[in-house]
Structure 1
Amino acid sequence: MTLTGTAAGVPYLAVPPATPNPDAPVVLAWHLLDSPRTPAALAAALPLDGLDAWRVYLGLPMTGDRLPEGGWPEVIRLASEDAVRNMHRPVVYGGAEEFAAAWPELKQALQVEPRSLGVVGGSMGAAVAQLVALESGLDIEAAVLVSPVVQLRAAVAAVGRRYGIAYPWTAETDAVAERLDFVARAAEFGPTQVLLVVGEEDDREGFLDPSAALAEALGGRGRLATIPDMGHALADEPGTDPAPQTPHAAAVDRLATGWLRERL
């Protein structure tokens, strides 16, 4: 039975474990801004079936029912004006900050006090997952980061290359890039075991190389896996509703499920 609701204003979709009990592990998952870009769509792409844990898929700010007036075209317009100030910072910072208020309500709604926690995130959702792992004060045993934003500066440059523009960094946005440079912050992951999954067809400088650098910086606590022929997204467009799992998403799902099962 799938549960849906909001916790402190954050939309969520929760799938219970096969053997529910109050201390069952909980996996918290944040979607991409590319496809899949909603909790329901991510749950279809990465159902994590076979994992005896709660799977809780959380909505990001400026997505789903919380899109700004004008919808997705308005998000694109805001990003084109200033990608870091208008999109990356409000989505990533906002997602991490609102989780702090949502988590107590989620535990009450699901009636859980989990013995272990894991996080999953895709692209910008992976940046949220990393902030939660590093800054929430929760003990996160395992993380799965898919097509992740590991170094914001590299990710922004990748988008700039695609559209032939160079982002004008300032002292203000430099500070955002420093906070979202998880290679530089690798020591802060502590004992968290991190799996990074990237597509071989994704942007190398923007996503593949930073992911490899984080896995290396984590040493025995990190592992990098690459999916042949996969790009950045995990689902076909439009990516807002549940859709049949693509072969690439199925490969990611198998890796993620195995990683979490062994560590939670």
Structure 2
Amino acid sequence: MTTEVETGVAAGVPYVLRAPADRRPDAPLVVGWHLMDAPRTEAAFAAALPLDGLDAWRVYLGLPMMGSRLPAGGLDEVMGRGYEDAVLLLQGPVNAQAAEEFDAALAALRERFGCATGPLGLFGGSAGAGVALEVATRRSDVAALVAISPMVQLRPVVSALGRLFGVDYAWSPASDAVAARMDYVARAGELGATPVRSIVGEEDDAEAFLHPAQALAKALPAGEVVTVPGMGHALAEEPGLEPAPQTRHAAEVDGHAVAWFRQHLGA
């Protein structure tokens, strides 16, 4: 049963929230970030991945430079930044800012809704999964994490985007440093004992998404990978800006995410 959504801004971060039926303060709190592909806003992500049936506070945060925080030039400007320097002008800043603003947003949400005492879970799709992993390296209280179509390592993702858009990215010492920071296989030890389930589409780019997810699972004490037959990278139909009917593949992803959180959060 999908509950009604509540929307707002917490410490400057736009959110969509679904509360548990009894709104009890000790229910688990799961927080996630959307993709840069469809669904590419917090509202569209909440529709694609409602975590239906999970007895928890479910919060969907907007990424920097996306949704209501698009730059003046809109998606065209975002794409332009990606073409100019996908690492230093897009992927790196979005990941870093989203992680840095999380603690204040979480504190504001807990104060506003009283969801302060339950265990914390994180989830995300693609770039949003990278944010979830980055946040988890900075906190010791993440009880479970679900990474969907995940950006586990930046470098192979940039290579895949280069193949897709015909761009040969020129790595530099600055972008090498960002790629090193956004290599969660190399940084797996910083995730501690957090159980991580990666969910990857069978039709997604294996070098960019499946193989890094498999390497991360092997590097963790509690990691696993689930593949979804027939699914590519996106979780919604284009343009992915507004809530839309859930696709068959997104429903399957939703079930895998709910099962993981039930197992590790008791939701």
Output the TM-score relative to the length of structure 1.
0.97
SS at match of 1:130: helix
Measure how far apart 1:24 and its partner are: 1.3
SS at match of 1:216: helix
1:131 has 2:125 as partner = no
Cα distance in 1 between the residues matched to 2:19 and 2:107 = 17
What is aligned with 2:259?
A: 258
Aligned partner of 1:115 among 115, 118, 124: 118
What is aligned with 1:158?
A: 160
What is aligned with 2:33?
A: 30
Cα pair 1:197 1:224 within 8 Å, conserved:
yes
CA deviation string 1:158-210 (max 9, x = no partner): 10111222211111111111111000111111111000000011111111111
CA deviation string 1:73-103 (max 9, x = no partner): 1100111000011100111101101112212
Cα pair 1:19 1:52 within 8 Å, conserved:
no
Aligned partner of 1:44 among 38, 47, 65: 47
Measure how far apart 1:114 and its partner are: 2.8
Between 26-35 and 180-189, report the one with greater CA deviation. Answer: 180-189
What is aligned with 1:246?
A: 247
Measure how far apart 1:151 and its partner are: 0.4
Aligned partner of 2:150 among 148, 166, 172: 148
1:200 has 2:202 as partner = yes
Cα pair 2:197 2:223 within 8 Å, conserved:
yes
Output the TM-score relative to the length of structure 2.
0.96
Measure how far apart 1:104 and its partner are: 1.2
Cα distance in 2 between the residues matched to 1:138 and 1:104 = 16
SS at match of 2:44: helix
Aligned partner of 2:180 among 178, 181, 191: 178
Cα pair 1:29 1:57 within 8 Å, conserved:
yes
Cα distance in 2 between the residues matched to 1:75 and 1:170 = 21
Cα distance in 1 between the residues matched to 2:73 and 2:173 = 30
Cα distance in 1 between the residues matched to 2:62 and 2:161 = 23
What is aligned with 1:230?
A: 231
SS at match of 2:196: strand
What is aligned with 1:9?
A: 12
What is aligned with 2:100?
A: 97
Cα distance in 1 between the residues matched to 2:104 and 2:114 = 16
CA deviation string 1:15-55 (max 9, x = no partner): 00123211111000100000001111111111001111000
CA deviation string 1:59-86 (max 9, x = no partner): 0000111100111011001110000111
Cα distance in 2 between the residues matched to 1:109 and 1:238 = 32
Cα distance in 2 between the residues matched to 1:114 and 1:178 = 34
Cα distance in 2 between the residues matched to 1:215 and 1:186 = 9
Identity %: 56
SS at match of 2:199: strand
Aligned partner letter, 2:86: A
Aligned pairs, how many? Answer: 262
Cα distance in 2 between the residues matched to 1:188 and 1:86 = 26
Aligned partner letter, 1:37: R
Aligned partner of 2:213 among 211, 214, 217: 211
Aligned-CA RMSD value: 1.0
Structure 1 outlier segments of 4+, above 3 Å: none
